[in-house]
Amino acid sequence: MAQDLTLHQRRRAPTPQELQDIPWLNALTAHERAQTMSQLVVGDALAGDVVCRIGRAPTYWFGVIDGLLKMNIDTDKGDSLTFTGVSRGGWFGEGTALKREPYRYNVQALRPSVVAGLPIDSFHNLLSGSLGFNRFIMNQLNERLGQFIAAREIDRINNPDLRVARNLAALVNPVLFPGVGRLLNITQQELGYLVGLSRQRVNVALKRLEQAQWISVSYGGIQVLDLAALRSHTLPDT
């Protein structure tokens, strides 16, 4: 049965639609793209599957075709500290892949997800010969730096409503997660896992953000109405 196999054992070739959902392929020349598409693999991750594990050497550079992952570590106190979520269209771990060093974090699927992987040797070959790929990676690293600076700022925010707002903004970042757009498919429970709040407290925060007309909550997810406000504004009476 599929659930008895590891994610690596469940790998397969990507479908044509899945290849269209990989944003950086468009940065390659036709020859580079043809070569690279034959080297890509995808895996159908189950909820709870670990994509990357602390201490393991990287063998792929990973991206999310569909679904939601979380990047976290386990603290000395036995708690789990979440750095960020990885939503649709996001590719991650390029710093680790560049240095070929062991992972310093875990990446785990919060729900059934489709995860793509480019073999690390193919990743380095593109870095050595593709101008378009280098530009994409430079933009990734630059945006990632901004993301983690923002994450440090979020850690110092004591207001739960603003913590939810800032995390929502991070999950719809158009550079890091181009597949999301302005409609984020996420449950309140999943958002709670990423923010470190209970589902009930997340519900309260979402209602406040909706009242401020920053978001609209629907059955299909959370529609972002004002990304700039989510990123930097404060709420009335906070």
pLDDT for 150 beyond 60: yes
Q: What confidence tens digit (pLDDT) does each residue in 187-236 have?
A: 999 999 998 899 999 999 999 999 999 999 988 799 999 999 999 888 87
Task: Measure the CA–CA gap between 12 and 18, rounded to whole angstroms.
Answer: 12
Min mean pLDDT across 82-91, 92-101, 201-210 is at: 82-91
Interval 138-158 mean pLDDT: 79
Residue 233's CB is within 10 A of a number of other CB atoms, namely 14
Structure tokens at 29: 């020349």
Average pLDDT estimate for 76-93: 83
- Is 0.95 surpassed by the pTM of this model? no
Closest CA to 108 of 54, 155, 55: 54
Strands (E), the chain: 41-45, 50-52, 60-66, 69-74, 80-86, 91-92, 106-109, 113-119, 183-184, 215-218, 221-224
Domain locations in the chain as residue ranges:
2-151, 159-232
For the domain covering 2-151, report its CATH number: 2.60.120.10
**54 SS3 class:** coil
pLDDT given at position 124: 97
DSSP letters for 174-202: TTT-TTTTTEE---HHHHHHHHT--HHHH
Encode pLDDT of 99-112 as tens digits.
999 999 999 999 99
pLDDT, average across residues 139-165: 82
Question: What is the predicted pLDDT for the residue at 3?
Answer: 61
Asked if the model's pLDDT at residue 78 lies above 80, the reply is: no
Query: What are 13's two structure tokens?
Result: 């070739």
CATH architecture of 159-232: Orthogonal Bundle (1.10)
Least confident of 102-111, 126-135, 150-159, 171-180: 150-159
Q: What number is the average pLDDT over the span 59-86?
A: 86
Q: What gap in Å lies between CA 227 and CA 216, rounded to an integer?
A: 12
